[in-house]
A and B are shown apart, each in its own frame.
Chain A
Amino acid sequence: DAKTTQPPSMDCAEGRAANLPCNHSTISGNEYVYWYRQIHSQGPQYIIHGLKNNETNEMASLIITEDRKSSTLILPHATLRDTAVYYCPRNKFYFGSGTKLNVKP
């Protein structure tokens, strides 16, 4: 099944790290892991992607397990503006319902 599994919601205190997990146990060897977020009702916004190695950019870090069956998106210092729904779609096509991250003061 070409889907991913994410917790429906998570809370994080402002200024703390937010760690969002994604299970993609059926991912193929050459398939990238992508993360997007959707703030309120806007169009989804790309965050980061990776294949095997961990990746970091100005927005977040991506940790992919060695067997590639799961990944974790890390927002190192969450702010209130990071409150959003976070998706790790499969094959770029299957977005699922994502994780609603609530950053609280």
Chain B
Amino acid sequence: NAGVTQTPKFRILKIGQSMTLQCTQDMNHNYMYWYRQDPGMGLKLIYYSVGAGITDKGEVPNGYNVSRSTTEDFPLRLELAAPSQTSVYFCASNPGAYEQYFGPGTRLTVT
């Protein structure tokens, strides 16, 4: 099992550009999550999903969108990138209970 994979590892965006951060898990987990981590800070939940076709907002959803068309994939979309979205983005999954499995992260810089 590859676990949770995220692409790209690094990305630099200009203000106003858009991009999609990809997240895939091969553990057949129903629950998937997107977090952001600003420098020196903890993780903040952006969006989560409890299964294909079902998503819900977390603590900091503004400026982001998600979709969940399959169990494996949970992409995060930034429509109009802003400097405040400079952060490290982590995707995670779990089967509903128990521990979360995290991906390696995507480091995003918006200039």
The interface residues of chain A, by DSSP majority, are classed as loop
Verify B45–A43 contact, CB threshold 8 A. Answer: no
Residue of A34, A46, A92, A94 with most partner-chain B CB within 10 A: A92
Q: Mark B33-55, 1 if CB is under 8 A from A, else 0.
A: 10100000111110010000000
A98–B40 alpha-carbon span in the complex (Å): 10
Residues of B bordering A, CB below 8 Å: 4, 33, 35, 41-45, 48, 58-59, 88, 90, 92, 94, 98-105, 107
**Residue count of chain A within 8 Å CB distance of chain B:** 18
Answer whether A46 and B100 are a contact pair too, CB < 8 Å, given A41-B88, A41-B105, A97-B42: yes
Residues of A bordering B, CB below 8 Å: 34, 36, 41-46, 49, 87, 89, 92-98
